[in-house]
Every structure is written in C-alpha cells, then in structure tokens.
Chains A and B, each alone.
Chain A
Amino acid sequence: EIVMTQSPATLSVSPGERATFSCRASQSVSSNLAWYQHKPGQAPRLLIYGASTRATGVSARFSGSGSGTEFTLTISSLQSEDFAVYFCQQYDKWPPYSFGQGTKLEIK
C-alpha cells in the first residue's frame, strides 16, 4: 500500500499571502495525484487532479506541481474562504487508493 505523507500538519498564513503544501508518496505515483479542500461538515472538494490540472470551477489561485513522489499545492493570495484542511490522494496503484493525513490551513 502506498503511504501518503503531508507536511506540515498545520500551516499558519495571513490573508493575502501564499500557502504551500507538501505531499510525499512512499513510492512513485507518476502524476496520478489529486488535491482536495475539506471544510468541517462539508464533503471534500476536488481542486487538482493529474498533479497539476485544476478541476472545473477552481480558482487560478490554486496550482499543483510535482510528479513521482514529491508534490506541491500552492494557493496564492489567500482569501478567507481558503482556510480549511487540504489533503492529497494517489490513484496510481490500487487497491487501495490512499490519502494523506491532511494539512490544516489556519489564519495567522
């Protein structure tokens, strides 16, 4: 099973600044990596798939990069609605699909 590890656990950033999230896979997942935003009481929201392709309707402030085992999600110019938990998911080698433990983005 591929283990996804995210860092940091918590990210404190001020509105208007940039946030960068890291996701590492225990073995190569090529570009088969997705990022989601998750707010309490809501379903997760797909942001990025294929490591770098924005999902429909997702702001251009969100960007993804990486391949193999190292991936990054960047949010430029943070807005109040961006504060949430962000997690990655690999869909390269399954079963099972696997998820990172999440990074909580909080207001500094």
Chain B
Amino acid sequence: QVQLVQSGAEVKKPGASVKVSCRASGYTFTTYALHWVRQAPGQRLEWMGWINAGTGVTKYSQKFQGRVAITRDTSANTTYMELSSLTSEDAAIYYCARVGPYSSGWYPYWGQGTLVTVSS
C-alpha cells in the first residue's frame, strides 16, 4: 500500500532554515508528482509547491518563491522541502501529499505531517 512517511518535528530559530523529508513506498516513486502543503494554527491549508518525481521539475507558489526548495532523491524514494528565512508565521504542520492518477490535482495519499515550531 502507498505510504508517505515524514521526518519528525523541528524547532527552529527565526532566520534559520528547515528541511523536511517525505519517504514514499508502495508504488513507483518516479511515476507521480509529490506536493507540499502546510497548515498554520487556525488557518486553512496552503499549497507550497510540487515536484515531478521523475524529472525533478518543480513548481512553487509565488508566495514562497525564492524561499522554498523542493528536491528529491530517487535512490531513496524521498522528497525534501526546505524553507529558509523562517519567521513565526512559518510555524505550521507541513504535509507531503501524492496526487492521484493521470497527474490529477487531488490527494489520495498524505504524509502524517511534520510540526515545525519557530521560536527564539
């Protein structure tokens, strides 16, 4: 069965960077895009970007452009999301999610979420 397992909670200082990983199993990693979405306390889910796991091509939300980098390691079936110049507004749960078939835009599979705390 498809599983997405994310790295553990992080505590970072303002101005630092955080890198969250998402290891996929149960399917051919390079066949599907992986997306990153976050949810700050009391806020709606917010789409950050995606990576074509086969080609490595990425697309980011304009809101995070220049501050986020999504990469992948095909040998480890893992995607990474790195967010830099953290502020308190980046405190959130970060999720990776895999799309459905035919490059659909909906998410049948999600990681368990990674809590990122930003505090001095």
Chain A contact residues, CB within 8 Å of chain B: 32, 34, 36, 42-46, 49, 55-56, 87, 89, 91-92, 94-102
Chain B interfacial positions (CB closer than 8 Å to A): 35, 37, 43-47, 49, 59-63, 95, 100, 104-108, 110-113
- Whether the Cβ atoms of B45 and A43 lie closer than 8 Å is no
| A-side contacts of B37, CB under 8 Å | 99
**Residues of chain A within 8 A of B62, CB atoms compared:** 95-96
- Which residue among A32, A44, A56 has the maximum number of chain B CB atoms within 10 Å of its CB? A44
Contacts of A98 in B (CB 8 A): 47
Closest chain A residue to B63, Cβ basis: A96
Residues in chain A near residue B106, CB distance under 8 A? 34, 46, 49, 89, 91
- CB contacts (< 8 Å) of B95 on chain A: these are 43-44
- When chains A and B are docked, how far (Å) is the Cα of A101 from the Cα of B107? 17
Q: Judge whether A101 and B44 touch: CB under 8 Å.
A: yes
How far, in angstroms, from A95 to B58 measured CA to CA in the complex? 11
Flag if A43 contacts B110 (CB, 8 Å): yes
Task: List the 3 closest A-B pairs by CB distance, nearest first.
Answer: A91-B105, A43-B110, A34-B106
A-B contact pairs, 22 of them (CB 8 A): A34-B105, A34-B107, A36-B107, A42-B112, A43-B95, A43-B111, A43-B112, A44-B95, A45-B110, A46-B106, A46-B107, A89-B45, A89-B105, A89-B106, A91-B105, A94-B105, A96-B62, A96-B63, A97-B47, A97-B105, A99-B44, A100-B44
